[in-house]
Amino acid sequence: MSWTVGDAVDYKGFPADKSKTGGWVCAVMILGIEICERLSTMGIAVNLVTYLIGTMHLPSSASANVVTDFMGTSFLLCLLGGFLADSFLGRYKTIAIFAMVQVLGTGALAVATKLSQLRPPPCHANEVCKQASGFQMGILYIALYLIALGTGGLKSSVSGFGTDQFDEKDEKEKSQMAYFFNRFFFFISTGTLMAVTVLVYIQDAVGRSWGYGICSASMLIAVFIFLAGTKKYRYKRSQGSPVVHIFQVIAAAISKRKMDLPYSVGSLYEDTPEGLRILHTDQFHCLDKAAIIREGDFDNMSGSGPNPWKLCSVTRVEEVKMVVRLLPIWATTIIFWTTYAQMITFSVEQASTMERSIGSFQIPAGSLTVFFVAAILITLAINDRFIMPLWRKWKGKQGFSSLQRIGIGLVLSTFGMAAASMVETKRLSVSKTVDRNTEILPITVFWLIPQFFLVGSAEAFIYTGQLDFFITQSPKGMKTMSTGLFLTTLSFGFFLSSFLVSVVKKVTSNTNEQGWLADKINYGRLDCFYGLLAILSVINFVIYVICAMWLKPKTPPKIGVQMETIKASSTEEIC
């Protein structure tokens, strides 16, 4: 039994000693960063819309777009963080640097919400509220996007660096790694739960600057704990960015687009060790041209092999093909995260206009998302304890497949938007029976529970299904990038929400009416907007089913080289 980890080193660059490095202690130090990141990001996101409307005096639709743009940018920057970690910094340095960036961002946000000069004066009854100035919004944006930058860098590396602390070749540590993945999702949910309950309450009852200051202080403490484990961590050398490899294949294929493919696959270039080769497939033949050997392909400055921008191996081409096959499922899951965005924007705004008292206790509007988190945890528990055992007895399989889980999530989110539309119709009918300017309508906030619960249950299925799908169906050397690809569905979902809000606002507004998304929610038709999302979700589900049928389950690639004739049938020539 080896006492060192073959593919990992310690902080001095020597082979990592199993008895002195890695393991659960190091993994917990890393997970502390993840808890504080969730605490900060979700604690800000779920309650930011009430601050923008109530304090900064922004219109309802503009406030929702600020939140969704902030969240979308956070997840989009995961690609930047992953690229820097894979190509230059490594995961350890990436986490340390971007964690400090988030400390600065949350600290700046605490200051921005504390100083009266950085927010407009409060407005009184029968007065026109003065919106925040460009300078005031600029300071707020700087703070928010520092946080987004920190989040992007952290999320791209935390889970990967955590798994680096376990040796896949050691059976004991391999089982611990599987347990780590379960605890990782649990820690994310725990951080979110603390954010939507304790932190939101502090923001509303004590002060926002206190809430954001707690975020900054907790992340700073987590950074010190993380740095304390420097000598104990295991570090794995970077193998280069998968994004660069993809662009190399595309560039090589484009440069040889006019060349004809050889009759035999064996004539294509392959330098991958036999045990790591991937079988050639008959899809996307245009990419195969990247493996055609041409004069000048070996003009490489290093002289150690072909120029990777001119010639790529068959295995490298097949890795890119595997990524391309992920894209239809990637595209059809974006709409779910658009519906998810409504839970932390318009649904929170709905809650702020409804009766939220339990005795003498006033529930913060942002804390209604606790039902969302509870739905996730309950759904996961029911799936593990009841659905999976029954499915195993009935079908003989270990629960739903990744594609089935995604499909279930899309259906539940559709019902969630339909429920949201009906509840909003009822809330608007109540507002019409009283003065629409009434601050708190005589309707209980618990009417919102169905939409939170349905969309929360949908996330439990979709998040785990997407993560499983993108990891198992991607090339071994591109796991980090495929996880980043999964996170971009969240990003594009939030950006799509901002786009839809802007379009609906423009199309439905006229000189006399403010349209579906009025500046004040009681004067709009948010129920129609929710109904539109429900219809779009139905259309998207149909497209998803078609894509899932086209994407047959892929079995692990066999070892060796496939020597067969390329089928040139036009029906199979997809590119």
Condensed to tens digits (0 to 9), the pLDDT of residues 495-541 reads 999 999 999 988 888 756 778 888 888 888 899 999 999 999 999 99
- Are residues 249 and 175 both part of a single domain? no
Which of helix, strand or coil describes residue 222?
A: helix
185/36 same-domain check: yes
Of the residues 324, 348, 371, the one at which a domain ends: 324
Check whether residue 194 and residue 67 sit in a common domain.
yes
First CA to last CA distance, the chain: 49
Domain boundary among 272, 295, 324: 324
Tell whether 221 and 248 lie within a shared domain.
Answer: no
Q: What confidence score (pLDDT) does residue 335 get?
A: 94
Regarding whether 145 and 59 lie in a shared domain, the answer is yes
Residue 23 has pLDDT above 70, yes or no: yes
Domain assignment present for residue 416? The answer is no
Tokens 């008959």 appear where? 282
Instruction: Considering only residues 110 and 192, tell me which one the structure prediction assigns the higher pLDDT.
Output: 110
Q: What is the pLDDT of residue 302?
A: 57
Is 20 a member of any domain? yes
Containing domain of residue 271, as a range? Answer: 242-324
Same domain (yes/no): 175, 319: no
pLDDT reported for residue 336? 94
Residues 32 and 129 in one domain: yes
Do 251 and 213 belong to one domain?
A: no
Q: Residue 85 belongs to a domain with what CATH number? A: 1.20.1250.20
- Three-state DSSP at 391 gives helix
**How many other CB atoms are there within 10 angstroms of residue 388's CB atom?**
15
Q: Are residues 232 and 307 in the same domain?
A: no
Q: Which of 211, 239, 267 is where one domain is finished?
A: 239
Give 87's contacts (C-beta < 8 A, 6+ positions apart): 238, 240, 241, 244
Q: For 64-115, how does the pLDDT look when each residue is reduced to its tens digit (9 = 90+)?
A: 899 999 999 998 888 888 888 877 888 899 999 999 999 999 999 999 999 9
Q: Which helix (H) or strand (E) holds 465?
A: helix 449-472
Q: For the chain, give the mean pLDDT.
A: 83
Judge if 299 and 313 occupy the same domain.
yes
The predicted structure's pLDDT at residue 295: 81
Residue 441 has pLDDT above 60, yes or no: yes
Nearest to 452 by CA among 369, 341, 535: 369
Same domain, 260 and 234: no
Look at residue 169 and tell me if it is in a domain. Answer: yes
Q: Is residue 235 part of a domain?
A: yes
Interval 403-420 mean pLDDT: 93
79 lies in some domain: yes
Say which DSSP state 405 is in: H
- Confidence band of 567 (pLDDT split at 50, 70, 90): very low
Does 283 lie in the same domain as 197? no
Residue 479: pLDDT over 80: no
Q: Is residue 249 part of a domain?
A: yes
pLDDT score for 573: 32
Q: Are 236 and 12 in contact (CB under 8 A)?
A: no
Number of domains the chain contains: 2
| 91 found inside a domain | yes
Instruction: Tell me if 42 is assigned to some domain.
Output: yes
Cβ atoms of residues 119 and 443 within 8 Å: no
Average pLDDT (132-154) is 91
